[in-house]
A and B are shown apart, each in its own frame.
Chain A
């Protein structure tokens, strides 16, 4: 088992920078999730940890040992690939045996080990089938078996659940976490699905355009996003953002204002703003869809008034998209239960001041961290 340290890792493909100056640490037995949109450099980073790609510059350490230029199989890592890639011309058994190839083990010993992992993942019945004869979930299990049989120092997963249907994904997700805890391996998991990231990770690393945005436990990422990117990428539906300015009214009160909104900021937020000395005028206000109160009828002061543009009824709650009159911008509001209104109805949404986030208008960085 291992602790992984990435120091100033950069990766360039020709002129294109895939990962720039990445510094991070994965603790022993920790499950870290790399989260970001496609092309953000998360898979490249994973490939560098695996040893499939070599960083352009920077160093990579496993347990303090420099492994930057070691080939993949010497690092003793295991990897499960997108949609559980297996050798199509080999049976499940032979696929798993491929992982033991570089180990000097006798035939019986290998067979014993394979039977063991097969039991662990309950794949005994399809050991003699080819990957093409297996369902997505079964294939996923075989790929996992192939990965864990080597007792790897590091367990790497590259969007392994992306090709599966929702129900299966959920159950396999649970199994994976359980397996990771039981085996006590260090695991790095790459995904673009923020629900997956939130449910799996001990810590989440959010990346965008090859740059690390934020690293921390899921609740920290969700409750204290460092910038507008993290704020709008994590959480479904995404956070609503409004551009505006901050206005000091008196020593005690401060307002966030734009053409439609006029929100009095809570004392706690003002203290934080003053504490960090960031009391500039221009700002972006963020408000999660569940932190807006929806009312029927025309807009009053301090509310976003508009027409219902779309309704998604999810049963327990409804997502109401409102197009507001000013400039056809849209916001999303989460309403408990089934939304009773219809399309084109005029409604008003009021952000709850105690749940808002504030960001710098130029850089998008959080003002209250």
Chain B
């Protein structure tokens, strides 16, 4: 059951994402989801969820076996997960979050097809709009800096967080 589910999640990344753009476009047009942020979020999740699931799986498996200890101390199954396992896995969760943020932030193909020219446009398709503005290449440069800056800030802060947690992890190892 568990393996089956994991395999199903893995299978979903077997197809190159680009190959499903047109089906998505058609479905979205019918559902009224094209040109909306919600639609883009759903598409992005189809690639990030499998990836982050497998990454976190490895991370959780390497955590020390403290479930039984937590049971003795009076934690329920859910309590153990929320109060013990998640704090222990913080580093992995932060890294997972960071990676899916960067995926979504930099995602170009789907955004280009589904949301260009609408209020829901993300930075990559928006920047591509500057490409052919010959008289103002500085606009393109400014937009690029802006796009890099946000990911830079995100990584910068989370990076500090990650290293700090890593030390505790190593010490607690």
- Give the residues from 128 to 157 in chain A that come closer than 8 angstroms, CB to CB, to chain B: 130-133
A85 CA / B42 CA spacing, docked (Å): 41
A33 proximity list for chain B (CB < 8 A): none
Q: Find out whether the CB atom of B171 lies under 8 angstroms from the CB atom of A132.
A: yes
A98 CA / B66 CA spacing, docked (Å): 13
Q: Find out whether the CB atom of A88 lies under 8 angstroms from the CB atom of B169.
A: yes
A286 CA / B172 CA spacing, docked (Å): 49
A71 CA / B168 CA spacing, docked (Å): 32
Residue of A nearest to B65 (CB): A85
A77 proximity list for chain B (CB < 8 A): 72
B64 interfacial by beta-carbon distance below 8 Å: yes
Residue of B nearest to A79 (CB): B72
B17 interfacial by beta-carbon distance below 8 Å: no
- Given A85-B66, A89-B87: A52 and B72 interface contact (C-beta under 8 Å): yes
Other-chain residue from B64, B88, B172 in contact with A130 (beta carbon distance below 8 A): B172
A309 proximity list for chain B (CB < 8 A): none
B87 proximity list for chain A (CB < 8 A): 89
- Given A101-B73, A130-B168: A47 and B173 interface contact (C-beta under 8 Å): no
A88 CA / B169 CA spacing, docked (Å): 7
Q: Find out whether the CB atom of A52 lies under 8 angstroms from the CB atom of B64.
A: no
Q: Find out whether the CB atom of A73 lies under 8 angstroms from the CB atom of B72.
A: yes
Residue among B73, B170, B171, B172 with the highest chain A CB neighbour number at 10 A? B73
Q: Find out whether the CB atom of B74 lies under 8 angstroms from the CB atom of A87.
A: no
A247 CA / B170 CA spacing, docked (Å): 67
A166 interfacial by beta-carbon distance below 8 Å: no
Smallest distance from the beta carbon of A55 to chain B beta carbons, Å?
Answer: 16
Q: Find out whether the CB atom of B170 lies under 8 angstroms from the CB atom of A99.
A: no
A226 interfacial by beta-carbon distance below 8 Å: no
A101 proximity list for chain B (CB < 8 A): 73-74
Residue of B nearest to A50 (CB): B72
A78 proximity list for chain B (CB < 8 A): 72
B88 proximity list for chain A (CB < 8 A): 87-89
A361 CA / B12 CA spacing, docked (Å): 59
Contact with B along A62-77 (1 / 0, CB 8 A): 0000000001110001
Contact-residue size bin, chain B (C-beta under 8 Å from the other chain)? 10 to 19
B149 proximity list for chain A (CB < 8 A): none
Other-chain residue from B71, B168, B169, B171 in contact with A51 (beta carbon distance below 8 A): B71
A52 proximity list for chain B (CB < 8 A): 68, 71-72
A101 CA / B75 CA spacing, docked (Å): 9
Q: Find out whether the CB atom of B71 lies under 8 angstroms from the CB atom of A131.
A: no
A249 interfacial by beta-carbon distance below 8 Å: no
Q: Find out whether the CB atom of B68 lies under 8 angstroms from the CB atom of A79.
A: yes
A126 interfacial by beta-carbon distance below 8 Å: no
B31 proximity list for chain A (CB < 8 A): none
- Give the residues from 26 to 78 in chain B that come closer than 8 angstroms, CB to CB, to chain A: 64-66, 68-69, 71-74
Residue of A nearest to B71 (CB): A72
A326 interfacial by beta-carbon distance below 8 Å: no
Q: Find out whether the CB atom of A89 lies under 8 angstroms from the CB atom of B168.
A: yes
Smallest distance from the beta carbon of A321 to chain B beta carbons, Å?
Answer: 38
A99 CA / B71 CA spacing, docked (Å): 11
A137 CA / B172 CA spacing, docked (Å): 16
Q: Find out whether the CB atom of A85 lies under 8 angstroms from the CB atom of B171.
A: no
A167 interfacial by beta-carbon distance below 8 Å: no
Residue of A nearest to B63 (CB): A88
Smallest distance from the beta carbon of B37 to chain A beta carbons, Å?
Answer: 36
A98 CA / B169 CA spacing, docked (Å): 19
Which 6 pairs across A and B sit closest by C-beta, in order of nearness? A88-B172, A73-B74, A102-B74, A132-B171, A132-B172, A132-B173
The contact sample of 22 A-B pairs, CB cut-off 8 A, is A47-B68, A50-B68, A52-B68, A52-B72, A72-B72, A72-B74, A73-B73, A73-B74, A77-B72, A79-B68, A79-B69, A81-B65, A86-B66, A86-B69, A88-B169, A88-B172, A89-B168, A89-B169, A90-B172, A130-B172, A131-B172, A132-B173
